Amino acid sequence: MADLKPAYLVSGDDDAKIDAWRARLRKRAESEGGAGALHVFDCSSSPPGEVAAELTALTFATGTRYLLAEGAEAWKAGDLEPLEQALAAMAPDTVLVVIVRGKPTQRLCKAIEKAGGELREYAAPKPWQLPKWVVERAREEGLILDNEAAKSLITIVGQRQQRLARELEKLALVAHPRTQLGAEDVEE
């Protein structure tokens, strides 16, 4: 497995990529530590100080500790001091992933970078880029869609990436064993 940074800040408005990050983190935490190995914070109700306290808490757990701070766009820059201090003194076998929908504060970015962490920003595709995104996502599902089929799918289900991804999963199941679909197939 790849070496992990102590902290990651995953931000942007590409829901599909952010959800994929969360799913990979959960899978890794559970494969290494069993069910419940990922400690999740809802940042709308958990202030930075609560996450900081967990970062510095002593534990008897073996292996890597995984913490996920979800919805950190709710945090104010002025409240980040306890988290900044905790990030500077993190235990070596701890990984913190902070998710911000939208643009994170500069102070949070600097704190993550100062801790040796990594920033990952994912912007959602613009409306004119969605057909290409649908074609690429379909390929991940084992489907080959042409541009017209992708446009048909967007017209039918709308521009929300999560909805498009779910519909592609359904198409892959319905079309099996076929892998190539045209606009008519999608509309059907």
Provide the token pair at 40.
Answer: 């999740």
**What are residue 101's DSSP bridge partners?**
12
pLDDT tens, residue by residue, 39-65: 999 999 999 999 999 988 877 667 788
**What are residue 102's DSSP bridge partners?**
12
Range among 28-37, 42-51, 89-98, 174-183 rated most confident: 42-51
Average pLDDT rounded to a whole number, residues 75-89: 93
Nearest to 97 by CA among 44, 162, 2, 26: 26
pLDDT tens, residue by residue, 148-176: 999 999 999 998 888 998 999 999 898 88
The answer to whether the predicted template modeling score (pTM) of the entire model surpasses 0.85 is no
